[in-house]
Structure 1
Amino acid sequence: MKVAYSLKQKMKIATFLFAIMACMILIRILEDKSVKSMNESFVSMYNDRLIPATDLFYIAENIFAKKYTLDSFLYSGNPEQKDIGLLKSQFQNFNSTIDSLMKKYEKTFLVKQEKEQLKELKVRLINSIAAEQHVISLSDSHSIEDGRKLYETVGRATSRKTLQQLTELMIIQTQVGKELIQSSESMVSRSKLYSTLQIALAVLIGILVVGIISASNVVQVRNDKFNMN
């Protein structure tokens, strides 16, 4: 009877310890998953937010450089033929750089809003390039005055709209970046919770082990006294 009772108690303790061990394994799996998600979030923050934000800045820089170059060309006196050639070469370099940066940006992870804004930005860039080329061609084939008039009525407006569209894209970049940061903070909180639970379970196991050892010693002492009697 005592043997059966002792075996039953041991089975209960073994089952309880097994349940605790299973909980610890599950918590460990969840913690590893959380750490992996945090790592992916940080990598995405760098590859899909920080680097693209830098690319957008350089795109804006080149757009401003084109605007400044065209302003200088149109309002610095009557350009010579060689100045027209130099201007075309400069704009070709600017547009090539912008195109390269746009292709690089397209390869990053984009949310739905970014994809929509990017399509609109492409259209604006095409219109802006077409307007600039028209201004340059008109200045070359007719007169600088004709080029200025076209630039003031069309060129500046298309350039401004392009920069506005680029600003909208940058704003979305910032918003998505903030969401990634909030997500990372949430994962850090979960990771801390998992660590706390692991410590609590480890303490509980320690208490159970001490309790089992103490109970065994009490039983042993009682058995020794019984045998002596």
Structure 2
Amino acid sequence: MKWSLLFKEKMKAAIILVALMLAIIISNFFEKRLASRNDFTVSSIFEDRLQPSTDLYEMRTLNDQRLFILEEFLHANSATDRNRLNEKMELNHSQFDQLLARYQTTFLVAQERELLQQLQKNLRQFDNAFAQLSKAQSGTLALQNAKNNIYQTNTHLGKLNKLQSQIGKQLLAQYKKDTYYSSFLNTFQILLSVCIGFIILKMVSNSSLLNKFDKKINLN
């Protein structure tokens, strides 16, 4: 009877032990997922937020330079001056496009994609206005349209830059949250390991009692 009771206790301990081990495996799986997401978050903060903020600032600087080029263009008196300014604008355009292309390769949220479409529309309108200005077609109107597009482009660049900060803060908050959960899971696993150790000790102790009980039976 006593042997049967000890056997049942041993089986119960074994079942609990298996359950605890499964809990450790599952918690370890979630901890790894959190760690992987943290790696992505840290990478995204730099590659998708900090670097684009720098690029957007440079794009805004290049966009401001276009105003000066337009003013020079307005007062250009010779074909040579106009050609020089056209080359200057082409260089500006090339540098701007490189930064914009790099920004487009980053992870973009829906609001960014929407602002980016508006930005690209403004850029196309500016190109058309500048092309008209270069050909001296309705110069005053083309100049005003070009300036308006520059102002609108700056507005969209400013909104995109502000968005980087907002999303960066959200990513940082998510990182802190995931770090907390990861720490909790790690502590949970340690506690489970302690419980497993305690159960193993108890099983060993019960096994010793069972051996002593068997010896008494054999002696009798």
TM-score by length of 2: 0.85
Q: In 1, distance between residues paired with 2:48 and 2:34?
A: 20
Q: In 1, distance between residues paired with 2:93 and 2:48?
A: 23
Instruction: Give CA-to-partner distance per residue, 1:48-73, whole Å, 9 cap, x none.
Output: 22232222222112111222333355
Aligned to 1:7: 7
Residue 21 of structure 1 and its aligned partner are, at CA, apart by 0.7
Q: Is the 8 A contact 1:128 1:162 kept in 2?
A: no
Q: Secondary structure at the match of 2:108?
A: coil
Deviates more, 1:53-62 or 1:116-125: 53-62
Residue 98 of structure 1 and its aligned partner are, at CA, apart by 1.6
Q: Which amino acid aligns with 1:190?
A: Y
Structure 1 position 58 matched with structure 2 position 58: yes
2:95 counterpart (97, 100, 109): 97
Q: Secondary structure at the match of 2:153?
A: helix
- The answer for unaligned runs of 5 or more in structure 1 is none
Residue 44 of structure 1 and its aligned partner are, at CA, apart by 2.2
Q: Percent identity?
A: 29
Aligned to 1:46: 46
Q: Secondary structure at the match of 1:110?
A: coil
Instruction: Give CA-to-partner distance per residue, 1:129-183, whole Å, 9 cap, x none.
Output: 3333433443xx8xxxx85x54774333221111011111222222222221111
Q: In 1, distance between residues paired with 2:107 and 2:216?
A: 76
Aligned to 2:82: 84
- The answer for unaligned runs of 5 or more in structure 2 is none
Aligned to 1:31: 31
Residue 210 of structure 1 and its aligned partner are, at CA, apart by 3.6
**Higher relative contact order (Cα pairs below 8 Å, separated by 6+ residues):** 2
Q: Secondary structure at the match of 1:57?
A: helix
Going from structure 1 to structure 2, the CA distance change for 1:7 and 1:209 (only over 3 Å counts) comes to: same
Instruction: Give CA-to-partner distance per residue, 1:86-142, whole Å, 9 cap, x none.
Output: 11100011112222322232222211111111010011112223333433443xx8x
Aligned to 1:129: 127
Aligned to 1:163: 154
Q: Which amino acid aligns with 2:116?
A: L
Residue 212 of structure 1 and its aligned partner are, at CA, apart by 3.9
Q: Secondary structure at the match of 1:108?
A: coil
Q: Secondary structure at the match of 2:107?
A: coil
Going from structure 1 to structure 2, the CA distance change for 1:92 and 1:152 (only over 3 Å counts) comes to: closer
Q: In 2, distance between residues paired with 1:24 and 1:45?
A: 31
Note the aligned Cα RMSD (angstroms): 2.8
Structural mapping, 1:145-184, within 5 Å: 149-150=140-141, 153-184=144-175
Aligned to 1:203: 194
2:108 counterpart (90, 107, 110): 110
Deviates more, 1:48-57 or 1:110-119: 48-57
